[in-house]
Chains A and B, each alone.
Chain A
Amino acid sequence: MKKILFSLLLLLLVAGNAWAAKKNLYVYCWSEYIPEAVIAQFTAKTGIKVTLSTYDSNEAMYAKVKMTGQGYDLIVPSTDFVSRMGKEGLLLPLDKKQLTRLGNLSPKLMNQAFDPGNTYSVPYMWGSTAMAVNSADPVAAGVTSLADLWKPEVKGKLLLPNDMRSVIGLGLKRLGRSWNETDPAQIQKACELLRPLMANVRVFDSDSPKQALINNEVSAAILWNGEAYIASGENPKIRYIYPPEGFGLWLDSLCIPKGAKNLAEAHAFIDFLLQPKMAAAISEEMGYSSPNLKAMELLPAEVRANAIVYPDEATLARGEFEVDLGRETERIYEKCWTTLKTGR
């Protein structure tokens, strides 16, 4: 009896090993962020099975990856989290030899302050956080700059992101400072400047701000371009404006977290996504801008010409990426955020 059991166990082990020998890749990202069709093609071509897990915020992903330290091979953090996770040693340096198609990427999005030399990250998708107005509303039609948002007639018609950095960034931009200001006095000044703006806010929403715009609940909003792209498709009266004072840029990058087991597979996947054909397919399906220059040539002309997705260079120069500020500065931002939110 024991012998039979033993051999059965052995068989199971062998079978288990054989199964494990099949190549796997564990990707941790926003749901629907990588189209199913692209993954299917990757699996068909390489035989690597891709398992997707999802998170709903950078913060939550960061906490989980930091605490578990294993289980995932590829993550897609935003710029500030790339810099934070890189500094904390939570990311593995990429092996550039395995990434043959890096040259396809726009040099303007490479080698940024959040990851100098792209040690840890390869840009996947980018966009802006700027202003959308519904020109059907005469009040909102008159809004052309950040300063206009402070006008008393905007009261009850404004949507801001429910996100500390994006809101305080508005104040800083109005002061003509950097989105990543670290001088406590300037942050404090921005905070004071923002206090009266709070009275104009009807909603804080950074999950699905397009809904409030489409449903005519608000007529001016600060949101990211993908949301504005969809909203303007639903209602052509909704226009996207890059404020003259400046605006935020966001970029999600492919990174390999520390503790990743399937390194070769992860690199193969990144390189696969860098193909112009794949990058174009992704950009078309998601409505976000691709950092892949070669992919742009494959995109339909009306997408390339759409300023919401691809702003011109002069506009782009006013944008700024978000960088991790470190604990001390962050505390000042948080304090400001709490008083802004509870001081009403």
Chain B
Amino acid sequence: MSRSLKIAYATLVYLFLYLPLVVMVVYSFNASRFSMQWKGFTLHWYDTLIHDASLIQAALHSLAIAAVSATVACFIGTVTALAIHRWRFVGRKVIHAVLFVMMMSPDIVIGISLLVLFMTLSLPLGFWTLLMAHVTLCVPFVAITVHGRLQGFDPHVVEAARDLGAGEYEVWRHIVLPMTMPAVLAGWFMSFTLSLDDVIIAFFTTGPTFEVLPLRIYSMVRLGLKPEINALCAAMILITAVAVVTTQGLLKERK
């Protein structure tokens, strides 16, 4: 592919990805409450959004649970992928199979079966149960992505490190983990997205004290989505993007 063709193709894909987003942002300034027709420019929805404390709280809950569960899921998923790739042990095949079954399970099945589990353990529904549920949802996505990258990975590097006296831990810390980093990053992004958007599992596994945004939004359908939600989504994108950019910047500085 020539350079200009590449740029053109990439631009086209980004255009596809961002078009609905642009529409969403534009409608957040639409004066009409229900219509998709343009009825004039307004900042009214941003104003009502600022005063809707419970909606903002739900959004913050969602962001928090997404960030924490993505991080935990990345940790568990990466370790799992490395273990099934690196070692042969009893239950290795079982883990493979279970990961697959978890991927397959419809959200509603995961949600209800986890709720049964939490009720059996008599855990109060809220942040912790939702966190566990979302980690369960995300782990297979991370594990499969990392495992995909590990396959066909040159074993000689590890052997060389071993010969040079590296222990298991050093091998993981200095060779395996850096090699898997791009896949881990991809897994984190996927998990964050999944958790931020999940509604069915969250419905069953969270309690009245920890309401998340998707529940609010899906429940609004009955009376019509408010443009306020568009405003909120636009604001959330801005905030998450800024947060990710600054963390990346900070990490770089530390290096």
Contact = CB atoms under 8 A, between A and B. Distances in A.
A226 B219 contact: no
B34 A230 contact: yes
Contacts of A28: 208
Contacts of B222: 30-31, 33, 56, 207
Contact of A67 (B34, B52, B116, B208): B116
Interface string B171-182: 000000000000
B224 A52 contact: no
Contact of B221 (A36, A67, A71, A207): A207
Contacts of A52: 54, 211
Interface residues of B, number: 31
Interface stretch (A90-98, A210-218, A308-316, A319-327): A210-218
A71 B208 CA distance: 7
Contacts of B4: none
B219 A67 contact: no
Given A32-B226, A56-B222, A71-B125, A211 B208 contact: no
A54 B61 CA distance: 15
A54 B218 CA distance: 9
B223 A64 contact: no
Nearest to A32: B223
Contact of B203 (A55, A72, A214, A286): A55
Contacts of A230: 34, 224
A64 B203 contact: yes
Contacts, number: 83
Contacts of B209: 51
A137 B71 CA distance: 55
B149 interface: no
B225 to A, nearest CB: 8
B50 interface: no
6 contacts: A30-B223, A68-B125, A68-B207, A207-B222, A208-B221, A234-B35
Interface string A46-66: 000001111110001001100
Nearest to B39: A234
A56 B218 contact: yes
A272 to B, nearest CB: 19
Nearest to A230: B34
A56 B213 CA distance: 13
A302 B55 CA distance: 32
B36 interface: yes
The listed residue with most A CB atoms (<10 A of its CB), out of B36, B207, B225, is B207
Contacts of B199: 56
Given A26-B208, A33-B223, A210-B224, A54 B119 contact: no
Given A36-B54, A234-B34, 17 more contacts: A28-B208, A30-B219, A31-B215, A31-B220, A32-B220, A33-B223, A51-B209, A52-B54, A53-B207, A53-B215, A54-B215, A56-B218, A207-B221, A207-B222, A208-B225, A211-B36, A230-B224
A72 B208 contact: yes
A211 B35 CA distance: 8
A47 to B, nearest CB: 18
A261 B204 CA distance: 20
A286 B36 CA distance: 19
B115 interface: yes
B208 A51 contact: yes
Contacts of A30: 219-220, 222-223
B37 interface: yes
Given A26-B208, A54-B219, A210-B224, A67 B36 contact: no
A265 to B, nearest CB: 14
B99 interface: no
Interface in B26-55: 32, 34-37, 52, 54
Contacts of B223: 30-33, 226, 286
B110 to A, nearest CB: 14
A23 to B, nearest CB: 15
Nearest to A52: B54
B211 A53 contact: yes
A214 B219 CA distance: 21
